[in-house]
Amino acid sequence: MSGDYEIIIGLEVHVQLLTNSKLFCGCANKFNPDNPNVQTCPVCLGLPGSLPVMNRHAFDLSVRTALALNCRIAEFTRWDRKQYFYPDLPKAYQISQFDLPFSHSGWLDVRVDDETQTRVRLIRAHLEEDAGKNMHDETGSGAGSRVDLNRTGTPLLEIVSEPDIRSAVEARRYLEELKLLLTYIGVSDCNMQEGSLRCDANVNLHIPQDDGSKLATPIVEIKNMNSFSNVEIAIEYETRRLFAEWQETGARLGDIPKTTRGWDADRGVTFAQRGKEEAADYRYFPDPDLIPVTVTQDEIAGAKSELGELPTARADRFKSQFGLSAYDAKVIIERGPRFADYFDAVVEVCDEPKLAANWTTQEVLRELNDRGIQADEFHITPIVLGTMLQRVRDEKINNAGARKLFTAFLEAEAVAVADVDRLIDDMRLEVVSDTGQIEAVVQEVLAANPGPCADFRAGKQAAIGPLIGQCMKKLGAADPKLVRSTIVNLLTE
């Protein structure tokens, strides 16, 4: 936001779906840059006589995504051919959706910070096949340009927002919320480095005029952004450039065609690419080789019921039901649904949400990261961890004892619920609360250490430390404060 203008941003996000095969053929759908042009066939290359067949799983994943984004699902949708001529599209057309997309009119709530939330409306989410990848040599070595067609034909979901975003920070937060949702419901890995999630930003400015009206500048589409931070930086740069250009030319929306600009992350600047085609330039027409897709209300209801609790709702429940901080809820949710399921299961056993959050977001998460595994692969199951924390809650063991017990769990190949109490006994971790037992041990230690006792009586406070240590060693586990007070009382009688 600037005092001189208002930033208007709409985002087009392309998401590769997690399917085994491509959208209209049986070729593998996987990232394979080291072996270019091996995942192709007559269908995705558009060779004469080949016929496409829709990947139903890709369509089902798309419907799941659209429902999670609060979109309306069309009961009738068809496929269209979008004509354009680039080396990465050997058919010279892309199978996409034009006037009858399978979903439209959705929204995503975006939390810019803990106190600010905005709703970004979605125009549509439609399914299409991806193009290949052009690679250009810009070093001057003479290698020229190459194309890898492994990606061509992979299922791509395009999510188009209304121009509701008003800052570069808000654009980044929108993408972060969208990525969390998509990975949470298991439709994409959203790896921007591998091209699983790509974003184009449409940006222009509304500049206040003296008569109270607003002047809209021409729209620019920014491409080639491969990280959320780059999206934010690129939009910030482009808004400054647009304002400077308007001050120089005075150009208004409609005076010149929409243009696309690439993002050069190394130099931190955008650069002109080409004029942007309009819908008429693509000469859309219904694909004659594919039948329309119909979706019943029962199928929509079934897909909605399978969504389960979405990440934002789950985070809100963790805060309202369990009293977690926004930070703790965010850490648990952003790790993914399996980690959140693990936490939920731990709480169900120990009934101490804050204690469960502390252990899962610290000790458990550290182990998962070190081992490179998911929560449901961890050999310390939620029922075992929950039972241990139950013993902490009931003051059978203290925090120090729990850490020793957790270390023993880590060293074991497998841990059962019965092992919790067995190890507590074997390792002498149970907290001694019998004051008579504590006093007897203290008296024994004091009798064996007349020197430190005399030092303490003479005013040397530090002398009590070794006495406490010996008592704790003999007791196995006890409240150190209670042990200390018992020593002090006996030495000052």
Summarize pLDDT for 110-130 with one digit per residue, the tens: 988 877 889 999 999 999 999
Cα distance between residue 487 and residue 91, in whole Å: 87
Output the pLDDT for position 3.
Answer: 60
Summarize pLDDT for 347-359 with one digit per residue, the tens: 999 999 999 999 9
Mean pLDDT of the chain: 91
Q: What is the 3-state secondary structure (H, E, C) of the chain?
A: CCCCCEEEEEEEEEEECCCCECCCCCCECCCCCCCCCCCCCCCCCCCCCCCCCCCHHHHHHHHHHHHHCCCEECCEECCEEEECCCCCCCCCEEEECCCCCCEEEEEEEEECCCCCEEEEEEEEEEEEECCCEEEECCCCCCCCEEEECCCCCCEEEEEEECCCECCHHHHHHHHHHHHHHHHHCCCCCCCHHHCCEEEEEEEEEEEECCCCCEEECCCEEEEEECCHHHHHHHHHHHHHHHHHHHHHHCCCECCECCEEEEEECCCCEEEEEEECCCHHHHCCEECCCCCCEECCHHHHHHHHHCCCCCHHHHHHHHHHHHCCCHHHHHHHHHCCHHHHHHHHHHHHHHCCHHHHHHHHHHHHHHHHHHHCCCHHHCCCCHHHHHHHHHHHHCCCCCHHHHHHHHHHHHHCCCCCHHHHHHHHHHCCCCCECCHHHHHHHHHHHHHHCHHHHHHHHCCCHHHHHHHHHHHHHHHCCECHHHHHHHHHHHHCC
Summarize pLDDT for 57-109 with one digit per residue, the tens: 999 999 999 999 999 999 999 999 999 888 889 899 999 999 999 999 999 99
* Mean pLDDT for the stretch of residues 32-40: 94
- Residue 143's pLDDT band, with cuts at 50, 70 and 90, is low
Output the pLDDT for position 32.
Answer: 93
Output the pLDDT for position 454.
Answer: 86
Q: Is the pLDDT of residue 1 over 60?
A: no
Rounded to two decimals, the pTM is 0.84
Output the pLDDT for position 31.
Answer: 93
Domains of the chain: 6-298 (no CATH), 309-426 (no CATH), 435-491 (1.10.10)
Output the pLDDT for position 279.
Answer: 62
Place of tokens 């050999």: 379
Summarize pLDDT for 256-293 with one digit per residue, the tens: 888 999 999 999 999 998 766 666 678 999 999 999 99
Hey, what are 447's tokens?
Answer: 């009798």
Q: Which of 12-21, 206-215, 223-232, 433-442 shows the lowest per-residue confidence on average (mean pLDDT)?
A: 433-442
* Mean pLDDT for the stretch of residues 172-178: 96
Output the pLDDT for position 433.
Answer: 64
* Mean pLDDT for the stretch of residues 174-184: 95
- Residue 16's pLDDT band, with cuts at 50, 70 and 90, is very high
Encoded amino acid at 376, one letter = D
Q: Is the pLDDT of residue 432 over 90?
A: no
Output the pLDDT for position 138.
Answer: 66
Q: Report the percentage of the chain scoring pLDDT > 70.
A: 96
Cα distance between residue 483 and residue 476, in whole Å: 12
Q: Judging by DSSP bridges, how do beta strands 220-225 and 269-275 pair with one another?
A: unpaired
Summarize pLDDT for 314-342 with one digit per residue, the tens: 999 999 999 999 999 999 999 999 999 99
| Top-confidence residue, 473 or 287 | 287
